[in-house]
Amino acid sequence: MMIISELKVEGIGGPLQVRILRKWKHDIRQYETWYLVVNKYADAIQILGQRTNQTYIESVFNVTQCYIISDYSCPKLDRYQKVLENDIYIDVGLKSSIQRIPDTITIPKTWFCFVSKSQLIELGEAPPYYPSFLYVIHIT
């Protein structure tokens, strides 16, 4: 099995075991369906199903389920697509091999990208990715 941290730009990926954690569509690019997936090492990456592959991917992937995915490419993200720190995403489609596997406790069911208050400020108003931020409210 490959791991997310080993994936390379423009590479063709081998078998990757992941859990689907989130699904979303861009407000403007309705022909894209995005997924956030995580592996057993808590590495996360985005998966894209677009255009002719969009309907197929939506019929195969279910949020919270685990899969083995192979035969996919790893293109570079543009600034409008990027929601994680990764510079690449996984592009899947009809030629990809997607096999649902039984739920496993080895792949996390939640994932966060925490940053400190100072890191959040450094990211600015148009961050290159969207972190999670935990804060405390003091009531006096």
Domain ranges of the chain: 4-108
CATH number of the 4-108 domain? 2.40.50.140
Q: Alpha-carbon distance 17 to 2, whole Å?
A: 8
Average pLDDT over residues 14-20: 95
Instruction: Kindly report the backbone phi and psi dihedral angles of residue 81, in degrees, each rounded to the nearest multiple of 5, phi listed first.
Output: -95, -25
pLDDT tens-digit readout, 95-135: 899 999 999 888 988 876 666 667 667 767 776 656 666 56
Q: Are 112 and 129 within 8 A, CB to CB?
A: no
Whole-prediction pTM value?
A: 0.80
